[in-house]
Amino acid sequence: MRISVMSQMQRSFSIDLPSLIPLQLPSRRHTHLWYVIPDEVKSTSLLKRYSQLLSQTEKDGVDQMRGDELKKNALLARTLVRTTVARYQTNKEVDPRSLMFKKNVYGKPEVDWQNCKNCNHQPLHFNISHTDSLIACGVTVHVPVGIDVEDKERKIKHDVLAFAKRFYSADEVNFLATIPDPEAQRKEFIKLWTLKEAYVKALGKGFSAAPFNTFTIQSIPGTEEGYSLCKTSEVTADPLEETKKCNGEWKFAPLELADSHYAAVCIEDDQANEGAPMRVIVRKTIPFVEDQLISERIFL
């Protein structure tokens, strides 16, 4: 009985698909960022094997998507999450299929360690983001993480400033308004969107917990890529004077991926790591086929 089960597993797994190269968990303040480019995954047999990794709920979710391209991307997104999390499992018996997921009370997806047989409970956090042409998954340890990716060329249907006035904070609108070139303005708008979205996702409490116009993400003077979060609050007697509270509790890393996408990573700062820089290690992957180290960046 045991032997036949083993051989069945072998048939469907270690022979057809090479095992995932195991990895050490990221250290504190490190984020591992994995991405897959859907256009590079063409093999229908590979996609079929990916679909075998998914739970029934996930398969139903993929089937709900309208159109082949959306279905494929949904499949790749779940595959990326499962295979990425599985890489860090020290117990080799765990295959991506056996991972379980749940949502926190606000709807943010998390690993459900308790219900996973053979899984080692790890303080691993993940977050996923996708566009038509790129799917990314960020992994951290001990601290929540949020990521967002957007196509650099994404066109905004509305006037950028009008859109910003409606949804962004006053300071962010002012910043965007100082950019004379409309194309440059659009790019900064998108970058800011990824940073804001990454923060809300790291917070993990849904949009209504942090409406976009209640916080400002601004660059730290004197740095090229440093960003800080300031909350706008109107508690002063003078309603025109907004007091801003800029805290260092959240760290941001703006990046570009594959020359085609803006990305942002946001992590909650771990008090134990006061002063230590934030590090992001970027890898491109086609799960079970190819992993490629792209970059290792430090953000102060």
Partner 1 sequence: MASLSATSLSFKAPSIQSTRISQVLRKASTFQSISFGRFQSSKSLRLQISCAAKPETVQKVSDIVKEQLALSADTALTAESKFSALGADSLDTVEIVMALEEKFNISVEEADAQNITTIQEAADLIEDLVQKKPAA
List residues near partner 1 by CB under 8 A: 64-67, 70, 130-132, 150, 154, 156-158, 163, 166-167, 193, 197, 206-208, 211-212
Separation between Cα atoms, residue 52 and residue 266, nearest integer Å: 32
Shortest distance, position 17 Cβ to partner 1, whole Å: 28
Q: With respect to partner 1, which residue has the nearer C-beta, 16 or 234?
A: 234
Q: With respect to partner 1, which residue has the nearer C-beta, 117 or 158?
A: 158
Shortest distance, position 167 Cβ to partner 1, whole Å: 6
Q: With respect to partner 1, which residue has the nearer C-beta, 25 or 149?
A: 149
Q: With respect to partner 1, which residue has the nearer C-beta, 66 or 121?
A: 66
Separation between Cα atoms, residue 88 and residue 140, nearest integer Å: 11
Shortest distance, position 281 Cβ to partner 1, whole Å: 25
Separation between Cα atoms, residue 53 and residue 110, nearest integer Å: 17
Residue 90 tokens, joined: 């020290």
The one-character DSSP state at 22 is P
Q: With respect to partner 1, which residue has the nearer C-beta, 16 or 132?
A: 132
- List alpha helices for the chain, DSSP H: 2-10, 44-51, 56-64, 68-87, 160-167, 170-177, 182-203
Q: Counting beta carbons within 10 angstroms of the beta carbon of residue 87, is it exposed (0 to 12), middle (13 to 18) or buried (19 or more)?
A: buried
Q: With respect to partner 1, which residue has the nearer C-beta, 2 or 157?
A: 157
Residue 92 sits at the vertex; the CA angle it makes with 76 and 20, to the nearest 5 degrees, is 35
Quote the strand ranges of 182-299, DSSP E: 215-219, 227-233, 243-247, 250-257, 261-268, 278-286, 290-299
Shortest distance, position 170 Cβ to partner 1, whole Å: 16
Shortest distance, position 36 Cβ to partner 1, whole Å: 17
Shortest distance, position 8 Cβ to partner 1, whole Å: 34
Q: With respect to partner 1, which residue has the nearer C-beta, 156 or 294?
A: 156
Separation between Cα atoms, residue 47 and residue 125, nearest integer Å: 26
Q: What is the dihedral sign for C-alpha 279, 285, 288, 289?
A: negative
- The dihedrals phi and psi of 220, each to the nearest 5 degrees, come to -80, 125
Residue 244 tokens, joined: 């801003």
Q: With respect to partner 1, which residue has the nearer C-beta, 151 or 270?
A: 151
Q: How far is CA 197 from CA 52, 105, 129, 224, in A?
A: 31, 19, 10, 20
Separation between Cα atoms, residue 11 and residue 261, nearest integer Å: 38
Give the strand pairing for 215-219 and 227-233: antiparallel
Shortest distance, position 130 Cβ to partner 1, whole Å: 8
Q: Is 84 helix (H, G, I), strand (E, B) or coil?
A: helix
Shortest distance, position 177 Cβ to partner 1, whole Å: 18
